[in-house]
């Protein structure tokens, strides 16, 4: 009888350790998915603001001039504003080892890359390796989105109508761990 209690005690300790390890792993995984920390609110001025002001006469905006000038002056602020307005502020580093979110945009055959590190968008006019998500859009469609009353809804409707194309590149586990699936599903309906 003494031996069986000794083995029973060892088995019990091993089971407790195994259960604790499983619980810790589950908590780590779900903390990355569901444990969203409150983030600082990013206030970003619409990069079209000055162009709109400069092309407003007697209270009326010359939409064609604004659109034309917006396309000519296109820069990374346009990309950042579009992404933040489309829900990219919800993306975060994967807690299960996949790294930071990385988005590649093809805008009128110009390749732009955006990495999100510690809540900051690092935007460059270059390609990126191991992107998670790809967006194909024109400068004109981007400018129209920035001119719309609700950039998020405009992006969502343009995605549905095919004026914007989006492709999930990474696997579902990686996308889920970085917050993409929630963003993509809300945009694509």
In a domain, residue 43? The reply is: no
Q: Looking at the structure, do residues 143 and 92 belong to the same domain, yes or no?
A: yes
How many structural domains does the chain have?
A: 2
Q: Looking at the structure, do residues 58 and 83 belong to the same domain, yes or no?
A: yes
Q: Looking at the structure, do residues 71 and 117 belong to the same domain, yes or no?
A: yes
- Which residues, in sequence order, are CB contacts of 137 under 8 Å at separation 6+? 82, 105, 106, 107, 158, 163, 164, 165
Q: Looking at the structure, do residues 8 and 96 belong to the same domain, yes or no?
A: no
SS3 call for 119: coil
Residue found under tokens 């019990």? 12
Residues in the chain, pLDDT under 50 = 1-2
Q: Looking at the structure, do residues 109 and 137 belong to the same domain, yes or no?
A: yes
SS3 call for 102: strand
C-alpha distances out from residue 133 to 83, 93, 102, 139, 179, Å: 12, 14, 7, 19, 11
Sign for the CA dihedral angle at 38, 42, 43, 47 comes to negative
* pLDDT computed for residue 40 by the predictor: 54
* pLDDT computed for residue 22 by the predictor: 87
**Could you list the residue range(s) of the whole structural domain that residue 96 is in?**
49-188
Q: Looking at the structure, do residues 92 and 16 belong to the same domain, yes or no?
A: no
User: Is residue 62 a contact partner of residue 55, using CB atoms and an 8 Å limit?
Assistant: yes
The closest alpha carbon to 113, from 50, 169, 161, 67, belongs to 169
The closest alpha carbon to 117, from 101, 104, 133, belongs to 101
Q: Looking at the structure, do residues 22 and 75 belong to the same domain, yes or no?
A: no
Q: Write the DSSP string, 16-62.
A: HHHHHHHHHHHHHHHHHHH-PPPPPPP----TTHHHHHHTEETTEE-
**Tens-digit pLDDT profile for residues 138-171:** 999 999 999 998 888 998 899 899 999 988 899 9
User: Is residue 137 a contact partner of residue 105, using CB atoms and an 8 Å limit?
Assistant: yes
**Tens-digit pLDDT profile for residues 60-81:** 989 999 999 999 999 999 999 9
Q: Looking at the structure, do residues 96 and 172 belong to the same domain, yes or no?
A: yes
Sign for the CA dihedral angle at 81, 85, 89, 91 comes to negative
SS3 call for 112: strand
* pLDDT computed for residue 123 by the predictor: 94
* pLDDT computed for residue 1 by the predictor: 45
């Amino acid at each position: 009888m003494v031996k069986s209690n000794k083995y029973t005690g060892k088995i019990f300790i091993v089971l407790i350790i195994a259960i604790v390890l499983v619980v810790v792993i589950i908590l780590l995984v779900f903390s990355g998915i569901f444990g969203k920390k409150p983030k600082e609110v990013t206030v970003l001025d619409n990069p079209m603001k000055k162009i709109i002001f400069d092309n407003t006469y007697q209270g009326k905006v010359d939409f064609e001039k604004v659109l034309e000038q917006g396309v000519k002056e296109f820069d990374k602020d346009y990309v950042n504003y579009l992404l933040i307005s489309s829900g990219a502020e919800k993306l975060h580093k994967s807690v299960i080892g996949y790294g930071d979110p990385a988005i590649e945009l093809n805008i009128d055959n110009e390749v732009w890359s955006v990495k999100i590190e510690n809540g900051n968008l690092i935007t460059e006019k270059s390609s990126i390796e191991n992107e998670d998500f790809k967006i194909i859009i024109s400068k004109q469609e981007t400018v129209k989105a920035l001119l719309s009353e609700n950039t998020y809804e405009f992006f969502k409707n343009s995605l549905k109508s095919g004026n914007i194309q989006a492709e999930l590149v990474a696997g579902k586990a990686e996308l889920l761990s970085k917050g993409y699936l929630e963003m993509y599903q809300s945009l694509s309906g």
